[in-house]
Amino acid sequence: MKRLDGKVAIITGGAAGIGFATAKRFAEEGAAVSIWDVNEEAGNAAAQELTSAGAKAEFRKVNTANASEVASAALAVKEAFGSIDVLINNAGITRDATLMKMTEDQFDQVIAVNLKGVFLCGQAVGRIMVEQGSGVILSTSSVVALYGNFGQSNYVATKTAVIGMTKVWARELGRKGVRANAIAPGFIATEMVKKMPENVLDGMRGKTPVGRLGEPVDIANAFLFLASEEASFINGAVLSVDGGIVI
């Protein structure tokens, strides 16, 4: 039996990278997948790829920083599939600059997507999960939340806050049948990262004790475990998936 048979999962930022890798793994394990993204072309292509492989999948264009869009999309998924069993808060952006050069707009954009968006999705989908008495909320943090990173005051602030919110939700929702956990990825070889100069990539590998970059599927597999019944007693945890970089 597949680990997510009969389950319904929402994956924000699911059109590419870690989000799409997670959508594929969840679909392979029997889940119906709703991909939320602002990139309509990539989102439709991602859903089409999954349905062509025999999975139940759909795409919804959702700006996760917009409360009304999130609330409407959550209700639509519930209506279409009958339940929402897993929420993967994965949508995120970067607008890097040092403290002295970062603009207010750069700060606000990252806060809106990476923090407010996670809050809005957690709230809207959490309501549905509480009503049905079960569910799993998983959010993408980052190892930079644990040790900081040059030029990322905004991004690090959001990823640290996601860990804090996850722990609050674990306390508030656990007794209502809903678990909340976070994953802190290290250097992951997404398409965006692969376009970086080779010397930069070598530096990333050199800082990672296992000697390689992570692959999106490494994070997807971690999400899969935390979403499954195998992790039914894990609540409020932060799982570093980083090849040991934090040590």
Separation in Å, CA 237 to CA 139, 165, 169, 170: 11, 11, 11, 9
Mean pLDDT of 133-144: 97
Cβ pair 158, 110 in contact under 8 A: yes
Q: Which tokens go with 191?
A: 């398409």
Q: Is 155 tagged catalytic?
A: yes
Q: How confident is the model at residue 196 (pLDDT cuts 50, 70, 90)?
A: confident
Q: What is the pLDDT of residue 194?
A: 79
Q: What is the pLDDT of residue 141?
A: 97
Cβ pair 166, 181 in contact under 8 A: yes
Quote the percentage of the chain above a pLDDT of 70. 99
Q: What is the pLDDT of residue 23?
A: 98
- Mean pLDDT, the chain, integer: 96
Mean pLDDT of 156-178: 98
Q: Which of 86 and 200 is assigned the larger pLDDT? A: 86
* Residue whose pair of structure tokens reads 């995120």 in the numeric block: 92
DSSP one-letter string for the chain: --TTTT-EEEEETTTSHHHHHHHHHHHHTT-EEEEEES-HHHHHHHHHHHHHTT--EEEEE--TT-HHHHHHHHHHHHHHHS---EEEE-------B-TTT--HHHHHHHHIIIIIHHHHHHHHHHHHHHHHT-EEEEEE--THHHH--TTBHHHHHHHHHHHHHHHHHHHHHGGGTEEEEEEEE-SB--HHHHTS-HHHHHHHHHHSTTSS-B-HHHHHHHHHHHHSGGGTT--S-EEEESTTTT-
Separation in Å, CA 108 to CA 96, 102, 191: 12, 10, 25
Q: What is the pLDDT of residue 157?
A: 98
pLDDT digits (tens, 9 = 90+) for 23-71: 999 999 999 999 999 999 999 999 999 999 999 999 999 999 999 999 9
Q: What's the pTM?
A: 0.96
pLDDT digits (tens, 9 = 90+) for 146-155: 999 899 999 9
Separation in Å, CA 105 to CA 27, 33, 62, 95, 102: 37, 33, 21, 9, 8
Q: How confident is the model at residue 199 (pLDDT cuts 50, 70, 90)?
A: confident
Instruction: Look at residue 247 and tell me whether its pLDDT is greater than 70.
Output: no
Structural domains of the chain, ranges and CATH numbers in brackets: 8-189+217-241 (3.40.50.720)
Active-site pick, 20, 81, 155, 223: 155
Q: How confident is the model at residue 171 (pLDDT cuts 50, 70, 90)?
A: very high
